[in-house]
Structure 1
């Protein structure tokens, strides 16, 4: 099976059909665009070219709502709604990140005079999510290209600096420049999920186990921070819980997802999900509040590798919801959710500099 396009469906299909990512990558900053110069920090370019085998994005992601008479559950077609962006920190070597959005037109992308997001000095913790109703700094996603630039490492070194004041880069900070999101891609009336995956690299982020943590091909001098993107299905079944799974780890294998109650009753939820893929489409609606078991908080979300039967990794429903900023009381009939796995390969625990395979649940319609 071909690897799915890392910038799925939302962006021009022609870009994803090619094995060359030139249409998607962030090209070097022009001299006046706020690119980082020499510094005490460590700069990597997660968008810097390279070929990748891709496949055409599924048409349902871009299908207009009025093209179908059937319900979204039957067709996969999504009704228009407010554009929302949910970002998950999936960098396996970053306990927290903050993000700047460089914006512009005609290839000139500039850092803006606003603080990195989130503004909380702690940053966006690993395997946690942050929802944007609009990008900071007045970015017009309808007409401007946007490149997320991620900062990892010493969050305190960022201080109160704004995005346009981070050159030279503070000591102890790693900067990862990610792929360009073309104008109009985030202004489509959809709920967009963006996972920052791979590893940002940095001093000491190398050695035995590095590829299990970060993904195939990673090296200290070749970090692989990247974007994995999909649209989440909003339209719910009013009487059931809708659920999709998203492969947010480039180190993980093809995985299937199931829910197991505290009484050991198992329900299959998704099959053979690879990095950058969201499935099933439409969401499974096999779960309800009544089928979560007598102790729902202790119910397990298990992943199983392809052609295997043993559980490769597991988390409780309560733990996954907590990472997504939700409680058990937020998990209700009549809403859709997306389970995102991030970090190292399934079954890989924490290392000296990397974080383990971790699962988090987010609302598909935040």
Structure 2
């Protein structure tokens, strides 16, 4: 008697792969992406193929997300040290042999031009999560000091390029890992108090310290001007303060319901600078108003809360720290971008996730979400 073995259907083979994705997380991401596509169509209407390229980059990010979600957390641990080492080597090579554009030495030619700092956005939380996983149960002050050194070396290299926006993102991703690893509040509170005192001192002494003859240590002139412009953008309304002023006008003119799709005057009369990249939130708020902004905020809030829930249920130190850091990195992206457009933070080059135009940043974000999805899937398999 011959046994007949039925071949599994295509759905039976794909079902375990597709059903492993976290539904709430995907709903949040799809909502943000839908808003991003609609906004890019309007804001990029006069840019020719920018909408098509944005949709292509988004599709590529989802492909990267899908592939990364298949990598187990155990394999993510294995690539942590090599990825960090390669990223650090490329940053050093960029400092020595990098290509300079618009006064910034951020690119490296390896057959194609790459921006090595993008690698560190994910290599940093991977490396630090690996470090604290190895030190589990025996953490000492020295371990946190070594973690700080692992973090500060690449941050310093990126800040020197100069690329303050990317340096902030890498720094925040590393700080989140160190915080979740159990850094004492006795060390955190003094830093927060000093930062608060410094901010108050800058605001209080604005007129004196923003004079051209006053030298700011550790800051370049353009960084100093960005802070001074934030304090009072009307001092140079047609120059350094133009970005902030036009962004605030666009957001305010949108009102509650907005001016309507494709009807933003600040956007289509080209008053908003970088309206498809850093300042796309201003273009979106002008056309869809406060209600549209609240919908976008809901999408990011849902993503962040779901990501933190995944981190809380993660089965190991490595997965918990990595998931927490990736999730709060999305918070940093959104908070910094919306803050600078709204005039409450200095202008830095930080995109709005899945809304701003940009291929490299989009793929990096998709890769991060893929890692987060992998952790969520692994948690389910462990529970099962």
What is the TM-score when the length of structure 2 is the normalising length? 0.24
Which protein has the bigger helix share? 2
- Whose RCO is larger (CA < 8 A, sep 6+)? 2
Which protein has the bigger strand share? 1
Question: Who wins on radius of gyration, i.e. which is larger?
Answer: 2
What is the TM-score when the length of structure 1 is the normalising length? 0.25
